[in-house]
Amino acid sequence: MHYTHDPIFPKKFMWGASSSAWQVEGAVNEDGRSDAIIDLNSKKKKPYTDNSIAADHYHRYKEDVKLMAEAGFSSYRFSIAWPRIFPNDSGIPNQKGIDFYNNLINELIKHNIEPLVTLYHYDMPVWVDEKFNGWYDRGIIEKFDEFVRTCFKAFGDRVKYWHSINEQNMQICYGEWLGICKNKDTWFEDKWKVNHIMNMCHAKAVVACHELVEDGKIGPIPGYVPIYPYSSHPDDQIAAMNAEELTEKVWNDLYAFRKYNGFIQSYWRENNINPGIQDGDMELIAQANIDFFALNCYRSNTAKACGIDEEPQEYLLNKSGVKGNLIFPKVPGLYQLTHNPYVEYTDWDWEIDPVSMRYMLRYVWDHYQLPMMITENGLGKYDKVTDDGKVHDQDRIEFLKDQIYQVGLAIMDGCDVISYNPWSFTDILSTGNGMAKRYGLVYINTTDEEVLDLRRIPKDSYYWYANLIKSNGENWG
C-alpha cells in the first residue's frame, strides 16, 4: 500500500540501540569473570584486536547511559555475560558480576530507559564448553536453566523484557564460523542435535521467565534475512521457500507453534537424521509460550533453483571489507543464493535493502501474529575522525533513515512493532573484523593496532537519530 503521508509511530514506541556483553564490555578477566569461548575465538581473528578491552563499557557504562539519555532513548538492548555470573561450576553466582548488571540496570531506569536483556549472546563459559562439549551434551540444559533463573531472580524486579538466545539459527547455519561446530565432517547431522538442545534451553528460559518474573515477557532473537526468488520462474520461488525454511522458518515455527514443522521433519527423514528428541522434550517445548519476536535484520538474500547434480558450495562470507569477496552457497536440489541486481551492496557484500525490513515485519506478523521489536539493524563501515574532531557518517544516516521509514510503513500496514534498537550504540568489536568495521552511533577512539583514549565521540548519525527520537519519528532531518 502507498501512503500519502510519512509513517506515524505509536506514542509508547521504544527507541534505543543495541550491544552485546562480549563485544562492548571488555574487562574480560576482572571481578571474577572467567573466559568465554568467544573470547578465545576473538584472539584468533588476526590482524584484528580481541575483546579484552572492546569499548570498555564495563568501566564507562555511566558515561554511555548518559549519552543514551541525552539522545532520548527509551530502550537499550544488551546481554548478560554467562561467565560473569557463573565463572565456574560451583553453582554459586559471582556477586560482583550481579552487581555490575544491577548497577547498569539501575542507571538505565534512573534515566527512564527500558532494559531489554538478552540471556545468551555467544559467550559460553570455557568451563561449560569443556564439561558439556559445547552445545553437544544435554547436561548443558540444566546449567543454562541455573543461569537464567539466577538472572530472573536477580534482575526480574526491574527487567520485564527478556530474550532467550541470540540468533540460534545463525549459530546452526554458520556453526564453524561462530565456534559452535566441533567436527566439520559430522556437522551436517550433528547440527540438528545441537539445535534441539538449544531449543530445550530456549524453552527452559521461557518457562522460568513466566514463573519467576512478574509481568515478564520473553521471546527469541532470530537472525532474519528475507529471501526473495531470483525470478518469476516457479522453481526459483520454491528455491526461495526452501532457503527460508532452512535458514529461518524452521526456527521461527518452533518458537511460535512449539513443535517442529512438516518441512524439517521430512528433511530429517530424507537425510536419515536423528535430531535427538527424547521423551518429555516436546512436552517442555509445548509449555514455552513466547510473548514476542525480537528480530535482527541487516539485509536480504535472493535465491534461485539449484540442480541436484550441482556441486555443493559453502557460504563464504566476505571477511576483508573489499567488495566482491563473498561466495554464495549452493545446496544441490534445494536452493542457491545469488546476487540481487536491484539493490546496492556494502563493502562486505551485504545487501542494502530497506524494503527488506518492511517485508520481514509483514511476513513475521502474517505468520505468527505476535508483537515484534527490532534488536539489530545497522550499517558496518570504515569511520574516521576528521580534522574538526567529528565523525561524519552521512551514509549511515541515509541507511537508518530508509530502514526506520520502512519500519514505520510496516506499522501503518498493521504490524505490531514495539521497539527499534539498531546495532550498535557505540562502536563495538565486530564478530569478524575487530574495531575496523564500525556500526556505532558513537565513535570509540581506539583501533585494532593500539588502544587509544577510548573517548566517546557522537557521530553525525547520533545527532540525527536523537532528533528523530525526540519527535517520535516525525523529524526526518
Q: Just list the catalytic residues.
A: 167, 376
| Length in residues, the chain | 477
Neighbours of 52 (CB within 10 A): 15
How far out from the chain centre does Cα 79 lie? 10
Please name the residue that has the C-alpha cell 534445494: 334
For residue 105, give the C-alpha cell.
Answer: 540496570
Q: How far apart are CA 7 and CA 29, in angstroms?
A: 46
Q: How far apart are CA 437 and CA 280, in angstroms?
A: 44
Burial 184-208 (b: 16+ CB within 10 A, else e): eeebeebbbbbbbbbbbbbbbbbbb
Distance of CA 283 to the CA centre of its chain: 27
d(CA 153, CA 131): 25
d(CA 17, CA 25): 15
Strand locations in 122-180 (E): 161-166
Alpha-carbon distance of 298 to 374, in angstroms, equals 10
Q: How far is residue 238 from each of residues 71, 84, 354, measured CA to CA in Å?
A: 45, 45, 24
CB contact burial 25-45 (16+ within 10 A = b; e otherwise): bbbbeeebbbbbbbbebbeeb
Closest CA to 7 of 418, 475, 464, 409: 409
Measured between alpha carbons, how far is 33 from 36 in angstroms, rounded to an integer? 9
Which of 271, 264, 234, 265 is closest to 248 using CA atoms? 264
Cell of 195: 539445535
